[in-house]
Amino acid sequence: MKCLKISFAALAVFSSIFYFYDLAYATATTHIWAPSTDTQGYGTGHITADVYIPVERSSDGSRPDTITNTGLTFGLLPFKKLNAEAGFDYKTGYGSLDSYPIYFNAKLAVPEGVFKGDFPYAEHLPAVAAGIYDVGTKIDKTDDNIIYIEAAKTVSVKGFSLGRFSAGYFGGNDKLLLNQDSAKDADGLLLAWERTMTEMSDKLWVCVEYQGTKSAYGALNLGFSWQFTPSTSVIFGYQFYNNRDLADTATLQVDINF
């Protein structure tokens, strides 16, 4: 995907969301790492604090820095059938790029099941979302500009939940999303499976997700979450990068809703 196309698409997404609203700040709602079809509810806030810890050395023998990420999310739209969120992350651990630590994001989404009864078979429609994240403030340095579209559907068999399955596609700035050979590798699949393990506890959630490419975004992510209170949860995750020259990382994410 060409950088020019990404820039125009990014402008379109932000324009459509912020035309009627002042800018709100947020961390994009994700599964473990990659975006999900979920958004924050209208008028609700969400604070997140993430740490990505390398668990080994890279192929060149170096040990990557620990990445920290702090963000705040607000839901924007007061509609049942169309949701939105937007905002920023404050990231550090990228060396000289820490001089430009702000990364913006935004998302529009139609929740699963909201058209039930409006027309035949509407109850079978999946959730759908489109958005952008990691919109940095330094051109061709931090403006990864990841644009995505994704659908998600909860599947049950005879009343037993098999979980929610998500699939989508993303593309980013091909000057920055490169593989181990420094070749452009800027677009790929988004896949995820997630489930609340009600047989054990309503507080336990598990997830497997995949993001394509051999850029720094491409990884197989495994994780689980525990909800300590109605407003506080912690996600524990592990990232296996598609580019095996990169060091795998462990994730600790604390989420607070208000």
What is the per-residue pLDDT across 188-205, written as a single tens digit (0 to 9) for each?
A: 999 999 999 999 999 999
pLDDT band for position 6 (cuts 50, 70, 90): very low
pLDDT in tens, 154-171: 999 999 999 999 999 999
pLDDT band for position 5 (cuts 50, 70, 90): very low
> Do 178 and 194 contact (CB within 8 A), yes or no?
no
Shortest CA distance to 252 belongs to which of 238, 232, 231? 238
pLDDT band for position 28 (cuts 50, 70, 90): low
pLDDT in tens, 126-155: 999 999 999 999 999 999 999 999 999 999
pLDDT of residue 14: 38
pLDDT band for position 27 (cuts 50, 70, 90): very low
| pLDDT of residue 10 exceeding 70 | no
Quote the percentage of the chain above a pLDDT of 70.
89
Mean pLDDT of 88-92: 96
In terms of phi and psi (left: phi > 0; alpha: psi -120 to 50; beta: otherwise), the region of 134 is left
Q: What is the CATH number of the domain that holds 173?
A: 2.40.160.40
Average pLDDT, whole number, for the chain?
89
| pLDDT of residue 13 exceeding 70 | no
What is the number of domains present in the chain? 1
* CA dihedral of 185, 94, 247, 50, whole degrees rounded to 10: -100
> Do 63 and 57 contact (CB within 8 A), yes or no?
yes
Mean pLDDT of 73-95: 95
Domain that holds residue 162: 3-257
Q: How far apart are CA 4 and CA 9, in angstroms?
A: 9
Buried-exposed string 174-184: b where 16+ CB fall within 10 A, e elsewhere: bbbbbbeeeeb
